[in-house]
């Protein structure tokens, strides 16, 4: 698989990583055995970058990963990113002060069964704490050997510039796909300018840019998509219909729709990393195939004619879901 450097001086990782949110049952029931099988298959496919967060499954995703490393003795084969800074109970809020981030990181390391992670993200910004102070905390984590590099999730380009005055930021994570193209309005450019690796989360449109038939009526009660505007009517039916052209293109080319959609992100954001999540080895293989697939100019034009900028109907988030996401 094509390799991408994480930040200016970080490790090389496969262009396609693995989002591990689903290991905590966020998108429906799963088993530890299935999650372990997915992690084992990931290594076979060259998928060595794992992305998780302390709140995924209330820590369960990290625990599942930690149990896999203990059982197989292969922690050193992976480049791990986790996140902190969100409080989920009793109410959702964001905390970026040193004491809380230290508590979050130490708990994550314990669950993962490791003394360090290669990348640590601020999951959401707490604007009561100046970003310069947050950076000083994170630099302290680097000096203590607990993290290798610094990242931010869902920030604005202006925040990236401000943070980078204190210390290089290795990665910024934002939603990016044919389904959501906001990072093209400044974040991709800022990352290139500053030597920050751009990481696409939900690069398959939360399942819409795949060959899986999605039925929102079957979503579990806590599924993130259940209240999401793009998955509610009338938007869902319209979006599903518009996606038929993309799926037809993929079928004609002998590709999984997921492979084609991920290849599009790499064409639009060269040297980026995508972290699709999956619970199955078959879907993992489809995702990994995008790491070596080069999208031609003709295919790029055909895809963007089928799904032009702004094609998806419905807001990306509900008002509650977008709380903490920086606008730009």
Task: Give catalytic residues, as residue numbers.
Answer: 56
Residue 81 has phi, psi (to 5 degrees) of -120, 130
Q: Containing H/E element for 141?
A: helix 131-143
Tokens 């690796």 locate to: 197
* String of DSSP letters for 2-54: -EEESTTTS-EEESB-EE-GGGGTTTS---HHHHHHHHHHHHHTT--EEE--T
For residues 57 and 96, the answer to whether their CB atoms sit within 8 Å is no
Structure tokens at 156: 């604005």
Round to whole Å and give the CA distance between 259 and 36: 23
C-alpha separations of 22 from 3, 35, 52, 86, 156 in Å: 24, 9, 9, 18, 26
C-alpha separations of 149 from 1, 135, 171 in Å: 23, 11, 8
Which DSSP state fits 279?
S
Round to whole Å and give the CA distance between 171 and 262: 19
Angle between helices 131-143 and 98-112 (to 10 degrees): 40
For residues 163 and 125, the answer to whether their CB atoms sit within 8 Å is no
């Amino acid at each position: 698989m094509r390799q991408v450097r994480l930040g200016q001086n970080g490790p090389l990782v496969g262009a396609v990583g693995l989002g591990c949110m689903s290991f905590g049952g966020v998108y429906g029931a799963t088993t530890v055995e299935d999650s372990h099988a997915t992690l084992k298959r990931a290594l076979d496919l060259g998928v060595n970058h794992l992305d998780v967060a302390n709140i995924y499954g209330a820590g369960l995703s990290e625990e599942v990963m930690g149990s896999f490393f203990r059982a197989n003795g292969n922690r050193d084969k992976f480049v791990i990113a986790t996140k902190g800074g969100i409080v989920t109970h009793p109410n959702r809020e964001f905390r970026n002060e040193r004491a809380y981030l230290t508590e979050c990181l130490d708990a994550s390391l314990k669950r993962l069964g490791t003394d360090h992670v290669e990348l640590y993200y601020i999951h959401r910004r707490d604007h009561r704490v100046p970003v310069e102070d947050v950076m000083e905390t994170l630099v302290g984590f680097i000096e203590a050997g607990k993290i290798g590099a610094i990242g931010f999730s869902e920030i604005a380009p202006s925040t990236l510039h401000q943070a980078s005055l204190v210390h290089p930021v290795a990665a910024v994570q934002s939603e990016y796909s044919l389904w959501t193209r906001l990072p093209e309005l400044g974040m991709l450019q800022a990352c290139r300018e500053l030597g920050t690796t751009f990481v696409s989360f939900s690069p398959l449109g939360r399942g819409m840019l795949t060959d899986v038939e999605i039925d929102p009526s079957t979503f579990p009660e806590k599924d993130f998509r259940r209240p999401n505007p793009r998955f509610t009517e009338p938007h869902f039916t319209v979006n599903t219909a518009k996606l038929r052209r993309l799926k037809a293109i993929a079928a004609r080319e002998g590709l999984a729709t997921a492979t084609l959609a991920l290849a599009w992100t790499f064409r639009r954001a060269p040297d980026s990393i995508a972290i699709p999540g999956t619970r199955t080895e078959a879907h993992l293989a489809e995702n990994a195939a995008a790491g070596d697939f080069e999208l031609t100019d003709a295919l790029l034009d055909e895809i963007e004619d089928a799904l032009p900028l702004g094609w998806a109907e419905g807001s990306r988030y509900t008002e509650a879901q977008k709380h903490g996401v920086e606008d730009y």
